[in-house]
Chain A
Amino acid sequence: MQDYLLMIVAAMFINNIVLIRFMGNCPVVGVTSSYESAVGMGAAVIFVATMAGTTCWIIQKTILEVLGIEYLQTLVFILVIAALVQFVEILMQKVAPPLYRALGIFLPLITTNCMVFGVSVLNIKEEHSFMQTLIFSLASAVGFALVLLFMAGLRERMDATGRVPSLLRGVPITLITAGMMGLSFAGLLGMA
């Protein structure tokens, strides 16, 4: 149990998938100009990453390793993720239309997000068990969503005061802010 707790804290903060592992920067820079879109994107990513991580793990163990074609991991994983996201989108549109309207436009965006694919590959690389895969994927995605929310809140505030020098407005100040945030997260190093 304690192992899992440690893994959750590590995945969410100490080895935060965006700020420390560098995966999934594009949405952080692109989607965080408004708080609502950040919330939508974060929720969609948590949903997709958890499912994709576990599904890819299952495929790795039951198909790729059994047939000895682990080298096709990249190709198979990305195809599975793309198909999974499309499947979920179709289902959502019929079964939960309000949820679809809230998350809908972000789902195709997430298919090619480094974060989802990266988490799936990381699970295999770090040789997680199924339970560990599930928890790691979920915790990493929550960490990602947290960073999105923090960044959106900060950016909205920064844009409102209008005191950012024009040299740095837009993407540059977002990246610098991300660096500062990463610095504070890295302060937790040594806990795990």
Chain B
Amino acid sequence: MEPVLTAILTVGAIGMLAGLILGVTAKIFYVHVDPRIGHVADILPGANCGGCGYAGCTDLAAAIVQGNAPANACKAASDELAQKIASMLGISVDQQERQVAQIFCHGDAAHAQRKFVYLGIQDCRAAQLVSGGDKACTYGCLGLGTCVQGCFFGALHMGPNGLPVVDTELCTGCGSCTKICPRHIPKLIPVSQKAAAFCSSHDAGKVVKEICEVGCIGCGLCKKVCPENAVEIDKFLSVVDPAKCTGCGKCFEKCPTGIIQSVVLTRDLKKKAA
């Protein structure tokens, strides 16, 4: 009987002591966490994409509750989510226009030259380190899909011609693809923008003509013909101002390489077939 009693009492005592110590410690070292932070964090998408500039959704929730960030700081959240957060905390939020990513390079395998055959690690950041990448154009898309992997929302996939394609239904405009691309080729544009020159090359026209059939040569014809003065030429690259562009299409006809085009918000091709 005695061994049984010893065993039961000892283990019971250890258990109770442990429980006591833990309970007391939890009370003494109680960390007060504002419960609203948890609620806001639940409303946010929870992808931890970092597009807001904070270290994850919980961090942003804390910032919003403390008043350091606006309720619509999350680019991945829809307007109604931002409204929900705002009304829960009793603050107001002003609407911002949604942004989507577009790939500012049309130099696929058929139109852009390569300097050498690259057999290294299949990541654009790695390829960039090898003599500045295997593409002849130092501003063009290397096509190894780093942006596709870096997208938190699955909105990018590699197209058949070696250039990434954006599914603008899924794209939340968080900007992760821009950050992860070593050449920052995916860029965010307002969803209402009607036209853009899909090139990132600042090389002179003569150079571009040799290495890429569709790159922007900076001829300026688009700027001349635009009735709204919506086009500027920034170091041999045409840039469309979305605020002024009406989508009239006069520049499309004049462009010798066809690089300035209307912005088409593309759905995922796979989904289209389904």
CA distance A72 to B15 in the complex (A): 13
What would be 9 A-B contacts, judged by CB atoms less than 8 Å apart? A59-B14, A68-B6, A69-B7, A69-B10, A76-B11, A86-B22, A93-B31, A160-B126, A161-B121
| Least CB distance, B27 to chain A, in whole angstroms | 10
Q: A-B pairs with CB below 8 Å: how many? A: 52
Q: Which of A71-85 contact B (CB under 8 A)?
A: 72, 75-76, 79-80, 83
Given the contacts A67-B6, A162-B122, A94 and B29 also touching, CB distance less than 8 Å: yes
In the complex, A109 has a CB within 8 A of chain B = no
**Is A90 among interface residues, defined by CB-CB distance under 8 A?**
yes
Q: B48 → chain A, closest Cβ, in Å? A: 13
B46 shortest CB reach to chain A, Å: 15
Say if the beta carbon of B25 comes within 8 Å of chain A.
yes
B18 touching A79 by the CB < 8 A rule?
Answer: yes
* Cα-based distance from A94 to B30 in the complex (angstroms): 7
Size of interface on A: residues with Cβ below 8 Å to B:
21
Chain B residues with Cβ below 8 Å from A162 are 121-122
The residue in chain A whose Cβ has the minimal distance to the Cβ of B123 is A160
**Which of A68, A75, A93, A94 sits near B11, CB closer than 8 Å?**
A75
Tell yes or no: B264 within 8 A of A by CB: no
Contact with B along A55-75 (1 / 0, CB 8 A): 000010001000111001001
Residues of chain A lying within 8 A (CB to CB) of residue B91: none
Q: Is B47 an interface residue (CB 8 A)?
A: no
Name B122's closest neighbour in chain A (CB-CB): A162
Using CB atoms and an 8 Å cutoff, list the residues of chain A in contact with chain B.
59, 63, 67-69, 72, 75-76, 79-80, 83, 86-87, 90-91, 93-95, 160-162
- What is the predominant secondary structure among interface residues of chain B facing chain A? helix
Chain A: interface secondary structure?
helix
Chain B residues within 8 Å of A80, by CB: 14, 18
Distance in Å: Cβ of A133 to nearest Cβ of chain B: 19
B26 CB within 8 Å of chain A = yes
Say yes or no: is B21 at the interface (Cβ < 8 Å to chain A).
yes
Closest Cβ–Cβ distance, residue A163 to chain B (whole Å): 10
| Binary contact track B1-23/A, C-beta < 8 Å → 1, others 0 | 00100110011001100110110
Other-chain contact of B18, A83, A93, A94, A95 (Cβ < 8 Å): A83
Chain A residues with CB below 8 A from B14, complex form: 59, 63, 76, 79-80
Q: Which residues of A contact B19 (CB under 8 A)?
A: 83
Q: Do B121 and A91 touch (CB < 8 A)? A: no
Residue of A72, A79, A87, A90 with most partner-chain B CB within 10 A = A90
Is B26 a contact of A90 with CB atoms below 8 Å? yes
CB distance from B33 to the nearest CB of A (A): 10
Measured between beta carbons, the chain B residues less than 8 angstroms from A68 are: 3, 6
CB distance from A149 to the nearest CB of B (A): 21
Beyond A75-B11, A79-B15: 20 further Cβ-contacts under 8 Å? A59-B14, A63-B14, A67-B6, A67-B10, A68-B3, A68-B6, A69-B6, A69-B7, A76-B10, A79-B18, A83-B18, A83-B19, A83-B21, A87-B25, A90-B25, A90-B29, A160-B121, A160-B122, A160-B123, A161-B122
Is A72 within 8 A of B11, CB to CB? yes
Residues of chain B with a CB closer than 8 A to A93's CB: 29, 31
Q: Which residue of B lies closest to A69 (CB)?
A: B7
> Which of chain A's residues have a CB closer than 8 A to the CB of B122?
160-162
Query: CA–CA, A91 to B25, complex, Å?
Result: 8
Residues of the A chain whose Cβ atoms lie less than 8 Å from the Cβ of B121: 160-162
A87 touches which of B7, B22, B31 (Cβ 8 Å):
B22
